Structure 1
Amino acid sequence: MQLNPEDLPKHRYVLLDRLGHHDLAPFIRTYLKKRTIYSVLYYLCNLMIVGLTAYLFLQGYHASGYDAGNRFTFFANGIAIAFALVPLHEYIHALAYKSQGATRTSYKVIWIRLYFMALADKFVANKKEFQVVALAPFAVITSLLVVLFFLLPATYQLTVAGCLLAHTAMCSGDFGLLSYFQFHKRMEVVTYDDVENNLSYFYGRDLN
C-alpha cells in the first residue's frame, strides 16, 4: 500500500489497536474466539487433521503385528519436522511481504514465549496485502505436505500427519490476525510494524 504510517491520519484512518509483540498470544486467542471465516477455517483444518491422525493410528488395530509405539514414533517425528520448518515458514512470510512492496523485512524470536515473527518495518498493508502475507506459508507448506502424503509409503503417512497437525496449529497467529481483519470488516483496516519499539499498529477508516 502506497502510504506511510505518518500519512494515515491525513487519510481519515484512526488508531484501532496497538499490539505489543510480547502480548501476541492473548490478542490472537481473542480473535480466534470470534466467529469469522478465518477462525472457522483454522479450527476446521485442525479438526480434519486430528481426524486423519486418529484414523491412521487406529487403522489395522486388530491386525496381528499392530504396534502403537512405532506409530507414535512416526507421528512424533512429524511434529519435530514441523518445528524444523519454522525458518522456512517465516522466510515465506518475508517473501510474501516483499511481493506486496515491502522493502525492510526482518525476523524476530521471543524465546521465552516461543514466538517467531517475520516483520516489515513501517510497511502499511491493507487487508488484501496482509491476506497474501499471512496465508502464504500455510498454503505453500500445507500443499507440499498433502502431496507428500499421497506420494510416500503408508508407513510415513503418520509422520506427514504429525507435521501437518503441528504446522497448522503453529499458524494460529496468522489466522488470528486475519480474523481481526474479518471482525472489523465494516472498516477498511490497515496494519504496520514498528520494529524498533516492538509494536504493531492497526488503523481503520469507515468504508463510506
Structure 2
Amino acid sequence: MRAGNASSNKRRKVFSVEAKSRIKKHGADFVKFIDKETNTRIPQTGVDILKKDISPDLAGVLPWMSSSSALQRQSTQTYPKMILKALDNLQRDVRTYEDLVKQDNKIRPPNWMRWQQDTKDLEEMSKHGLATASKIINHFIMPDLHELPPKPSEGAGGVEHVAWDLTEEVLPKMSDDIWGKIAQSHLKAFTEVLKALAAEVEE
C-alpha cells in the first residue's frame, strides 16, 4: 500500500510539471498572437447577417457586434487586456495548485488497515509453517511413507518463503539414524528376541 501511494504521488508530480509546461507554452503563444494583432479583426461577411445567428450575449466578447463604432474601438482595445488578465489569473491558479501539491496533506492509511493485513499474513505464515513442520515430523517417524517437504518454488508467495525460512532454521541436521529408522531396527531386534524366547518355551 505504501508503494502504491508513492507511485501515485510520483505520477501526480509528473502530471503537474507537464501541465505547467503546456500551459506556459500556450500562454506564451497566445500573448504573441495578441501582440501581433492588436485589433480584433472585423469579419468580411456582412455584420448584420452574422448578428442574426449569434447570441447577443457575445456582444461583450465580439466588439464588432456593437452598433456604436466608438464602443467597437474601445472594446477592441480592451479585449487583449482582458485576455492577458485571464492568462495571469490562470498562471496564478497553476502556481497555487503546485503549492498545494507540494504540501503534505497529512493523509495516512489508518493503522487498523495495516494491522488487518499483518494479522492475515501471520495467519497464513502460521498455517504454512504448521503444514511444513507436520510433514517433517511424519518423515522422521515414518520415513518410508512420508518425504521431506520441498523448498517453496521461486513463484511461491512471500509468506510461504518466510514460513520455510523460519522452519528451516530449527531443523536438526539430517542423518540416516532418524527416529523412525532406529525404532524400526529396535522393533526388529525385539521381534527376534521374542521369537527365540517362544522357541525356548516350547522346548
* TM-score, normalised relative to structure 2: 0.25
Choose between structure 1 and 2: higher helix proportion: 2
* TM-score, normalised relative to structure 1: 0.24
